[in-house]
A and B are shown apart, each in its own frame.
Chain A
Amino acid sequence: MLSKQLVYDILTAALQSGGDFAEIFVDNNEKNSISMINGAVEKALWGVDYGCGIRVFSGYGAVYAYTSDTSRDNLLKVARNASQAARNGKNGACLELQKACFENIHPVRISPASASKKIAAEKLRIASDAAFAYSARVSQTSGGFLGYVQDVLIANSDGLWAEDRRTRTRILFEAVASSDNEKQVGYTGPGAHMGFEFLDTLDFKEMGFECARIAITMLDAELCPSGRMPVIIDNGFGGVVFHEACGHSLEATSVAIKSSVFSDSLGKRIASDKVTAIDDGVMPGEWGSLNIDDEGTKTRRNVLIENGILKSFLIDRLNGLRMGMASTGSSRRESYKFAPTSRMTNTFIAAGNDRAEDIIADTEYGLYAKKMGGGSVQPATGEFNFAVTEGYMIRGGKITEPVRGATLIGRGSEVLLNVDRVADNLALAQGVCGSLSGSVPTDVGQPMIRVKELTVGGGR
């Protein structure tokens, strides 16, 4: 990467005409992937992303510049230009750079960037074969392996010098079931902050069966009835509800500028007393975990909501200044092409005391959303939407016919207050969350929960 002297010179140049604080982010990311259709490798890709981002604070504003030309002359020029643009700030100085100490809690055995893609292909073929064996109505499968090793250097004018390596490995698998005029998909996408050895923890045959089962079940499903009804959302990826409906609105990005519905809610009740929610960036090997965030702050476990009361936001350095609060180790970015901002890591609703089977037995009529798809939220109004990829109607306390095409909509501020049951079966699931600072790996999670009433759109 870059020498200490060069980094010091860049940070000094970035403050020479103005600016209160300067930071540099150097990013070398070696990426490796394959994608398969019907068990055959269609695409294989390898490459290196490399570049550098320079950020200068000026009051509550920030200048961000990035470049893939990391020659000394160019970097100094970029830094000086950034300082020019930040000339309203007071002239800061760069302190001596000191290496930050932190523990690597994500040991890696095999680098996924140079691992054998042949082995990944063989494993994915097992899943594909299992899916085709499950039913003759399974018409296609697609599979993918993605791995990367991202080396980052983060240094700033407060004297921080932090280097870290993030190694992530992910598997994607999808089975498509077809009838004459209908196609349905079953999907899974497990990932970890681990090396290629992550593949040894997965049961590819079971993965193939499970995706085929969902696709076949949904192929035979009727369209979901529309209207307002109780909704039971299952554990694991069901946590996307919390992620969209509430998590984004707790990010300082929208809280600091008061565009979040929860901006003035610290210490107040924003959820029913059954709800405790946590953002935990220090879970070993977990997909959304990081040793340090993208500003070099150590990540940690943040309790966001405790028994319904809002306890903490997710805060990055710049929005922390705007809010008069300290960073919570939540500053993230996809790559050097993005200025960092507050984001989620592994975010979940904590386990409650109910048993899942009791929640279903106690529900007279409603929708059971067993598998959720993605969703989105408008932070200013809290309006969210998300898709149910595997759903069933509940009648008389029993799970009955499968239903397809359901979408849940509502407002984050209302849905959390309407959670009336929380089970004890917490599970996490992996996703990629897109926002201002790009797409970052995050875990969502929850135990089974019941929402008293939600608007369900379904086409019937």
Chain B
Amino acid sequence: MEFREFRDKCFIAAARSGFDCFELYYAKSSNFSVRVRNGEIAEYKNSSQTGLSFRGIYNGKMGYSFTERLDDDLMVALLSKAAENARIIDSEDEEKLFREKAAYPEADLYNPALDEISGADKTQMALSMEKAALEADSRVKAADYCTVLSGEGEVFISNSYGLDLSHKSNLFRAYLQAKVEENGVVKTWFDFWYGRDLSAFSPKKLAERTVRTALSYLPAKTIPSGEMTVLFSPLAAADLFNAFVGVFFAERVQKGFSMLKDKVGAAIASPVVTIRDDGICERSVFGSAFDSEGVPCRGKIIIDGGVLRTLLYNLKSADKDKTRSTGNGFKHNFRAPVETACTNFYIEPSDIPPRQMISGVMYGVKITDLAGLHSGANSITGDFSLSASGWLIENGQITRPVEQIVVSGNFYDLLHNIRSVGNDLRFGMPGSLGTIGMPSILADKLNIAGE
């Protein structure tokens, strides 16, 4: 059954089943990827997928259900299970669906030209990426995960207040990991390209950059333990913020899972830090005009010169704090209940190049890679202790590669200890909590464990 037909039938049945108001969220996507190895296709993948989620208010409580199968039997189950789920909710939070007539930001996240590129062309790009990596240097042993991907997605939201939105986007991606070896020491580096304008993509350049970076870590060794100043590269900083971005979600603050309770208006970061969250942002190819509740994703300043200006809200958490949703009510996937996520969350870059940022650092490290973020970061306390690698900084200069260190600190302290931010903003790939972009960040007083 097609979505619109299913929706019309389902809405009639839902009104009869005792729901006061209800919503259908429907996501449709198709994806392609090709991974090559040693000049041959290792994996070629094609997919098309649809998923639908129902939610509705039943006796004052929100009930949810979902399905990937659109048929009449499941429609009955969806409504009865959603009602059953609503009945066991204890939470007294007031639930609502979006009923305003709103203006939405212009979003142009779809390039039809991407559809024109054939599977064979994409395979060719992956092969030339691998070839360029293997030929770049005799120390290259392999180009692992050498992959080209493309995908498009479409989201539809309809509710019983007449909301009827849809949004389409597509994206092209390529990535690889270069494995290099010298005198028995192995190093790897992973890098990627994404975008919608393929004229800006060169498989060869991506491969060569990845190899160059991998080689630059030969031969790394550890350093003595101590407290020191750290320069986080943009993607390492984005990874770190990704582990802690939840502290800015009103939902988590209200539940006591963030230390930012009553901190709006207070200085929670160094004055050099200004953080924005923009639904549509010319600096990023990601984004959305509306969130999973249909609320417009407006641009906003979260931290202004170190001062916390707002938290990120969905309809429910905004209601609790007697404010308006900031358009950050997102589902992690079509099945999940609405929670919170950022859109394009980033520290406003400065005009200082990273080289200049470290000119006053007598001894420290530049961290370019962090591992263990899902286990070594405590999103409640802000404590982190993460495996890292990067470079030694001595007398304002980068001197040699460093590996096998652990960087430890506390996210809330780190915000205060940021000495400067760079001019090199870069966005990582979107995760379940949104998309995060960071410039280089120079922070003092981090603990490094080495030997």
Contact = CB atoms under 8 A, between A and B. Distances in A.
Do these two chains interact? yes
Interface in A53-73: 58-69
Interface stretch (A35-43, A282-290, A360-368, A415-423): A35-43
B374 A374 contact: yes
Contacts of A404: 383
Contacts of A184: 381
A64 B45 contact: yes
Contacts of A42: 89-91
Contacts of B47: 65-67, 337
Interface in B333-347: 335-337
Given A68-B49, A69-B50, A374-B374, A47 B67 contact: yes
Given A407-B408, A459-B409, A63 B45 contact: yes
B244 to A, nearest CB: 13
Given A51-B49, A226-B447, A387-B385, A459 B256 contact: no
A223 B276 CA distance: 33
Interface in B112-151: 119, 142, 144
B385 A380 contact: no
B46 A78 contact: yes
A337 B30 CA distance: 12
Interface string A1-25: 0000000000000000000000000
A143 B181 CA distance: 47
Given A40-B90, A46-B85, A226-B447, A385 B371 contact: yes
B409 A43 contact: no
Given A386-B375, A409-B387, A85 B67 contact: no
B403 to A, nearest CB: 8
Interface in B235-285: 255-257, 259
A321 to B, nearest CB: 12
A375 interface: yes
Contacts of B74: 48
B447 A259 contact: no
Contact of B256 (A88, A178, A410): A178
B109 interface: no
Contacts of A339: 43, 45
Contacts of B86: 44
A85 B385 contact: no
B436 interface: no
B89 A41 contact: yes
A64 B372 contact: no
Contacts of A39: 90
Interface in B86-104: 86, 88-91
A185 interface: yes
B406 A81 contact: no
B378 interface: yes
Interface string B387-398: 100000000000
Nearest to B54: A47
Contacts of B165: none
Contact of A140 (B44, B81, B256, B335): B256
A29 B46 CA distance: 21
Contacts of A393: none
A117 interface: yes
B187 A61 contact: no
A65 B68 contact: no
The 4 A-B residue pairs with the shortest CB-CB distance in the complex, in nearest-first order: A457-B406, A47-B66, A374-B375, A385-B387
Interface of B: 37, 40-51, 53, 63-69, 74, 77, 81-82, 84-86, 88-91, 119, 142, 144, 177, 179, 186-188, 222, 225, 255-257, 259, 335-337, 371-372, 374-376, 378, 380-381, 383, 385-387, 403-409, 447, 449-451
7 contacts: A45-B66, A45-B335, A46-B66, A380-B186, A387-B372, A410-B404, A458-B449
